[in-house]
Amino acid sequence: MDAKAQIRAFITKNFYVPDGTTIADDASLLEHGVIDSTGVLEVIGFLEDNFHVTVEDTEMLPENLDSIDRIAAFVARKCGTPA
């Protein structure tokens, strides 16, 4: 599984996505109520454990974490691999 697929799998398994809807790769997770403030911390925990990256406080920004696309791109930048 590539990074984006792993991230999607984590999010759909661990958070509530309403029945019959699929969350688009570029959709805001916060706006769709998929994650909230403690959810953001869970996502970070997953990235740190799974991809062996360290997420700094100053990186906890919507541009890095608020959609599956953005999380994948963020992980790619942190790992130095193309998204």
Partner 1 sequence: MRSAVPQLQDYLAASAGRLPDKVALVYGARRVTYRELEESSEALARGLAARGVARGDRVLVFGDNTVETVVAFWAALKADAVAVLVNPLTKSDRLAYLLADCRPTALITDGHLEGVWSGAVATPHLKVLAVSGRVNPALRAGHPTLVPFDDLLAEGASRPPIANRNIDIDLASIIYTSGSTGDPKGVMLTHRNMLTAASSISCYLGMVEDDVILDTLPLAFDYGLYQIIMAFRQGARVVLERSFAFPAQVLTVASAERITGFPGVPTIFAVLADMKGLASFDLSSVCFVTNTAAALPVKHIEFMKRAFPGARIYSMYGLTECKRCTYLPPEDIERKPTSVGIAIPNTEVWVVDERGQRVGPGVVGQLVVRGATVMKGYWEKPEATAKKLKPGLLPGEQVLWTGDFCKMDEEGYVYFVGRMDDIIKSRGEKVAPKEVENVLVSMPGIREAAVIGVADDLLGEAVKAFVVLETGVQLSAKEIQNYCQSKLENFKVPKIIEIMDELPKTDTGKVKKTGLR
Interacting residue ranges for partner 1, rule: CB under 8 A: 13-16, 18-19, 21, 30-33, 35-40, 56-62, 65-66
Min dist CB 55 to partner 1, Å, is 10
Closer CB to partner 1, residue 46 or residue 82? 46
Min dist CB 20 to partner 1, Å, is 9
Closer CB to partner 1, residue 60 or residue 81? 60
Location of structure tokens 């996505």: 17
Residue 71: CA count within 13 A, CB half-sphere: 31
Question: For the chain, give me the number of helices (H) and strands (E)?
Answer: 4, 0
Closer CB to partner 1, residue 3 or residue 64? 64
Distance of CA 51 to the CA centre of its chain: 12
